[in-house]
Structure formats: structure tokens, C-alpha cells
Amino acid sequence: MAEIPQAVSVDIYGQIYNLRGTDPQYIERLAALVDAKMRAVASHGATVDSLRVAVLAALNIADELEQARGRYS
């Protein structure tokens, strides 16, 4: 039997997102990771453009993913 998606609200970089998923705690952990990465990126630069911060954070997360894939392949 498939799990029923549940609603969860998360705060990422000062914005509230209403998401749905079968594991709200997992979604909250992911949101916290993205929020922390965005705040770390923002603290190292002078930009206040949240889109730019989000793209730079995504690049950092993608780099971490590729490095992890390299270690496990």
C-alpha cells in the first residue's frame, strides 16, 4: 500500500514553501540543508539576490554530490 503524501511547510532563506511528500521529516532535513547552504553562500559574498544565492548553493550541492559519486564508484 502506497503512503499518502502529507503537507509540510518549510522555511528556506526566509521564504515559506508548502510541500508534499510521504516523509515530512526528510523534506524538513532537505530544506534545512538547502537553507544552510544558501546562508553559507550568502555569508561569503556581497550579493543579496536570492536567485543568485540559490544558483550558487545548487552548484555547491551538485559539487558535493559529484564528489560523493566519485568516492563510491
Which pLDDT tens digit goes with each residue over 5-28? 999 999 999 999 999 999 999 999
In this structure, the number of other CB atoms found within 10 A of the CB of residue 31 comes to 18
Domain annotation covers residue 39: yes
Cα end-to-end distance, the chain, whole Å? 33
pLDDT at 48: 78
**What pLDDT, in 10s, does the model give residues 33-59?**
999 999 999 999 877 799 999 999 999
Contact 15, 39 (CB under 8 A): no
pTM equals 0.88
Is residue 2's pLDDT more than 90?
A: no
Domain annotation covers residue 10: yes
Domain annotation covers residue 29: yes
Domain annotation covers residue 68: yes
Domain annotation covers residue 16: yes
Contacts of 32 (CB under 8 A, 6+ apart): 10
Domain annotation covers residue 46: yes
pLDDT at 6: 95
Cell numbers for 28? 524538513
Range of the domain at 45: 6-72
How many domains does the chain fold into?
Answer: 1
